[in-house]
Structure 1
């Protein structure tokens, strides 16, 4: 049974598509209301417990995936590559820093993106901007760029198929830690992969010791892998709200973890209102324009009772801002006393254009993570995780890395539809760097 939350419709709803046919939208939404949930309440509750542990320093969150998923790349191999990359990063963090890792993918629902400008102009022609495959097409034609409610049904079906594959990979043997060597097959030799292979050898030796000592390693053969996306399209999210049969609490069953973006985090806005009513763990992106007062108001709206793991602040300040803008917010939240899990998004605050390509520098990404850790160490609070845009493919979208990508390399394999992502090698390098920071500063 579906249960709508009508109160959000009385609030300002930013960055919603301008559909030409409201009747068609209503028909699609009613279809989605009749479809099964994509996730289940106990899964969301389990994630909330793990996020609470991360907020207390007993775990570390690794959240990663595409900036914007596309229908064209939601097949088995791209998903398998992203899951493998996150699993490899988690192994590096767990083994190097001796910390349990909570694995969350920007997968199975990240099909919509807010955009700075509602229209895009090319050669004097203005068309609606690309807002993600859930809304319109990437091709620069009037037909493709027209928002189409039917894409919401496609998003649901692609998300369901992706979640089915992720569950199979997580519990069907792919995630078996005994196979850590297999995850790196097919990649060219380089510094990051050499370090990973050396670690895999150490893990093999440790597992052989466990086996020889008569211990059971069965728990190391499966993992919990959670889904997440920005809860941008309110009609779609509302259509997937379901009451839990046991507790009767409402859950947004489109994903385990939903976040509210930097552009839609108004405490009095529709996005905050909708997610304030569901029992999932919720995140909010906190950028350089956020104030301590706004953050406390978000706690009032989204976690007034201070439930551990319920609310995560995902800070995205930029490498040059994090050390002087984040401390006041962290101190205000610490003084308030209600728990917040802190995660660093070091990607979105460090974006710029080079030769016409939107890009980031690996050095800036690492610098923001280091600053995030330093701020929390100084405040006596807990840096609970990182939120990374990445792919399992060998793209050339972010500058830097040990096999350095230069500005002239960007056109070679620039495949993202919106924002630049770390490639597989850069993601592994970042995991090693973060593991070192965890060892040194926590």
Structure 2
């Protein structure tokens, strides 16, 4: 059996119950003929940058939608998410004086693991919504039926998103001289926007000085933003895995960076088996039940050569548990000699249901988990390597707190997520300033 197919003999969690396996096979065969969405050389560049993170020389900012939708693959939606990512990156780079590796949670995050396989409303039971790659959000039998044809729609939506990202980031929109332009629609009515505008003024003066001194680096005019998503649907990921003509090695060309979720990181499972054979830089989400032995076993399985930049651990323990549960993991992994990058996902461990029935997160809990993550690394003398966030460029009301003090009674006003609650743009910028301050205090 081809090593890229050994996962088929392992238990595969969180896969849809496709009604017609023959149709899945036909769709996978069609996907296998389509052009790559990313290139192996780009994955190698990212692996090199993540190696710098593992050495303590850079910081990861990874973020975007909880669950992308096909309808969201528009110029406006992509630009707004990029604008937020760029603004956060500028805050971290300038205020924390650290190189920032920018990874979008976009161009592939169309599938979601679910805690329950069905959803019940008013006595009606239907399959749970598993993301646009699997089924529709509408609560009807037709919408919720898993449809393999959506795998092809996901590919094309990802291609559109990546094309827009490349156009914006390489075509002048990401030029550092645009720092004020990114904020024009935001500064007047947002505390975070006004704080950002003051920082943008400082950047302007620094750029003017460098220009007068004859320095005008190419990095000021364009940026590299990498794509990422959870490698959840293995038929899709396998169909988009290709052999690199330069090296003869396999790369999953659906994204630059892929991660295994908390619900699918079983050592004997299909996801770990598939991911250990591809050459992309990869991540694993580690929740509050993870032991140091679990972490070491995952390193042995996924990074046996102990290659810096290959493996990232994404911590998602919750504000109440991170200070107690994270230290033994970091201590034992560090003692083993493995060079992993540690980044913090402060979103998924802090979700709760408001009295109104909306799923939400408290901004203060998000901040507290990040602070706990930094506290642990500061105490152990290790490197807090980054943050992994769910945010949107829109003025939604999905998480409570932040500069505008959104309260639970506000959630209904603009609750637009297809799955989990996201930080809005103001909350994301607030957090970026706080993270920059935390990072400075660790150095």
Q: Is the TM value for this pair above 0.5?
A: yes
2:59–2:100: 8 Å Cα contact kept in structure 1?
yes
Partner of 2:51: 52
Quote the offset at 1:214 in angstroms: 1.9
With structure 2 as the length reference, what TM-score do the two structures score? 0.98
Partner of 1:374: 375
Q: Secondary structure at the match of 1:309?
A: coil
Partner of 1:400: 401
Q: Secondary structure at the match of 1:115?
A: coil
1:260–1:271: 8 Å Cα contact kept in structure 2?
yes
* CA deviation profile, 1:101-132 (whole Å, cap 9, x unmatched): 00000000000000000000001110000000
Quote the offset at 1:4 in angstroms: 7.6
Quote the offset at 1:186 in angstroms: 1.3
Trace 1:1-80 onto structure 2 (pairs within 5 A): 5-80=4-79
Partner of 2:430: 429
- Does residue 1:93 correspond to 2:92, yes or no? yes
Q: Secondary structure at the match of 1:242?
A: strand
Trace 1:271-310 onto structure 2 (pairs within 5 A): 271-310=271-310
Matched residue count: 440
Q: Secondary structure at the match of 2:242?
A: strand
Q: Secondary structure at the match of 2:192?
A: helix
Partner of 1:357: 358
Quote the offset at 1:189 in angstroms: 2.6
Partner of 1:148: 147
2:3–2:277: 8 Å Cα contact kept in structure 1?
no
User: Matches of 1:238 and 1:373 in 2, distance apart?
Assistant: 36
Partner of 1:269: 269
1:282–1:312: 8 Å Cα contact kept in structure 2?
yes
1:4–1:239: 8 Å Cα contact kept in structure 2?
no
Quote the offset at 1:217 in angstroms: 3.5
Q: Secondary structure at the match of 1:162?
A: helix
Q: Which runs of 5+ in 1 are unaligned?
A: none
* CA deviation profile, 1:274-330 (whole Å, cap 9, x unmatched): 010000000000000111111111001100110001000000000000000111111
User: Matches of 2:373 and 2:143 in 1, distance apart?
Assistant: 40
1:47–1:281: 8 Å Cα contact kept in structure 2?
yes
* CA deviation profile, 1:22-63 (whole Å, cap 9, x unmatched): 111111010001001110011000000111111111110000
1:210–1:217: 8 Å Cα contact kept in structure 2?
no
User: Matches of 1:307 and 1:191 in 2, distance apart?
Assistant: 43
Q: Secondary structure at the match of 2:385?
A: strand
1:8–1:273: 8 Å Cα contact kept in structure 2?
yes
User: Matches of 2:190 and 2:279 in 1, distance apart?
Assistant: 44
1:4–1:241: 8 Å Cα contact kept in structure 2?
no
* CA deviation profile, 1:393-419 (whole Å, cap 9, x unmatched): 000000001110000000000000110
Quote the offset at 1:359 in angstroms: 0.3
* CA deviation profile, 1:203-237 (whole Å, cap 9, x unmatched): 11111111112222432000000000000000000
1:127–1:141: 8 Å Cα contact kept in structure 2?
yes
Q: Secondary structure at the match of 1:383?
A: coil
User: Matches of 1:385 and 1:262 in 2, distance apart?
Assistant: 18
Quote the offset at 1:190 in angstroms: 2.4
Partner of 1:220: 220
2:6–2:274: 8 Å Cα contact kept in structure 1?
yes
Partner of 2:133: 134
User: Matches of 1:158 and 1:72 in 2, distance apart?
Assistant: 9
Partner of 1:337: 337
Q: Secondary structure at the match of 2:334?
A: helix
- Does residue 1:244 correspond to 2:244, yes or no? yes
Partner of 1:416: 417
User: Matches of 1:298 and 1:399 in 2, distance apart?
Assistant: 35
User: Matches of 1:209 and 1:63 in 2, distance apart?
Assistant: 31
2:63–2:105: 8 Å Cα contact kept in structure 1?
yes
Q: Secondary structure at the match of 2:387?
A: strand
1:211–1:217: 8 Å Cα contact kept in structure 2?
no
